[in-house]
């Protein structure tokens, strides 16, 4: 069995245990996102890997679940979901948000994180910071920002937990859908291939998060967080500048109606217009 993955240090680090559990050979593939594309939706992080799946060059693929777009290539599906690492965002470079001085520069490339940071600390200067984990840490160390926000899961998987200043409360800084989990993609109907690494609880949580985002029509231009804690769904939707936002928690079956009752469609339209 051949298992496709991106070739970054983090991608390889998190893919190897999956390959070992499946008895598979890792095949590294360069996506358009890896090649430097910054525009477009999440598909840039999986496009070339999906093409290899469709062509039969690999049998399965492993992705960071938060990078998987809502629509997959025809004939492909998520056949398994790994157990989750820590779902939270982490602040690096400061002991807490409160410890940052007024006007401090905080780096992130995420619209969701930008919106959440400014909703809590509108005085901060949120600066665009791109690159893999090592690149962002180097930019922080070089003084391009006073602090940065990264997914805790990536830092922990890379053995960089000591760089974490604090974990951000996931009920306030609601994580990206799928954050902390690894999604195994393959031909529809081949769930048995991914069964050795499938975690039913994680799969249920991630699918609930993804289902809400699909129902809302969320795109890469939507500052949205969705996290199922095992009993309830937490959601954040906001303007990129943090000026307006909705945050709620409720059972999955109730969330869409609750959000629509307080104007989430209008907020989403406004946020997309600004971000795009």
d(CA 212, CA 232): 13
Is 67 one of the catalytic residues?
Answer: yes
Token pair listed for 76? 């492909």
Burial label for 116, CB within 10 Å (0-12, 13-18, 19+), is: buried
Q: Which of 67, 86, 89, 146 is catalytic?
A: 67
b (16+ CB within 10 A) / e for 144-172 = ebbbbbbbbbbbebbebeebbbbebebee
What is the Cα 267 distance to its own chain's centre? Answer: 21
Count helices and strands in the chain by DSSP H and E runs: 9, 13
Cα–Cα distance list, 62 to 7, 23, 202, 213 (Å): 11, 14, 15, 21
Burial label for 97, CB within 10 Å (0-12, 13-18, 19+), is: buried
- Specify which residues 78 forms β-bridges with: 185
Residues 108/148, Cβ–Cβ less than 8 Å: yes
d(CA 258, CA 24): 44
d(CA 92, CA 106): 9
- Specify which residues 233 forms β-bridges with: 228, 250
The set of catalytic residues is: 67
């Amino acid at each position: 069995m051949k298992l496709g993955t991106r070739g970054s240090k983090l991608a390889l680090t998190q893919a190897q245990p999956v390959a070992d559990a499946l008895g598979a050979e890792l095949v590294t593939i360069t996506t358009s996102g890896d090649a430097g594309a910054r525009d477009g939706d999440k598909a840039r992080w999986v496009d070339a890997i999906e093409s290899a799946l469709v062509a039969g060059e690999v049998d399965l693929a492993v992705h960071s679940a938060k990078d998987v777009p809502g629509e997959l290539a025809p004939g492909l599906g998520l056949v398994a979901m790994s157990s989750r690492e820590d779902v939270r965002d982490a602040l690096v470079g400061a002991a807490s948000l409160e410890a940052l001085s007024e006007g401090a520069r905080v780096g992130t490339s995420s619209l969701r994180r930008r919106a959440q940071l400014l909703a809590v600390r509108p005085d901060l200067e949120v600066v665009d910071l791109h690159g893999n984990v090592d690149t962002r840490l180097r930019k922080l160390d070089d003084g391009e920002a006073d602090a940065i926000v990264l997914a805790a899961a990536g830092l922990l998987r890379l053995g960089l937990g000591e760089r974490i200043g604090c974990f951000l409360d996931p009920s306030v800084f609601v994580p990206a859908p799928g954050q902390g989990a690894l999604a195994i993609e393959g031909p529809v109907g081949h769930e048995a291939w991914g069964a050795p690494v499938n975690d039913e609880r994680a799969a249920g949580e991630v699918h609930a998060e993804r289902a809400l985002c699909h129902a809302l029509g969320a795109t890469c231009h939507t500052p949205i967080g969705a996290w199922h804690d095992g009993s309830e769904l937490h959601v954040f939707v906001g303007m990129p500048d943090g000026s307006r936002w909705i945050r709620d928690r409720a059972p999955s079956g109730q969330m869409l109606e609750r959000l629509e009752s307080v104007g989430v469609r209008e907020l989403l339209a406004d946020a997309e217009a600004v971000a795009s």
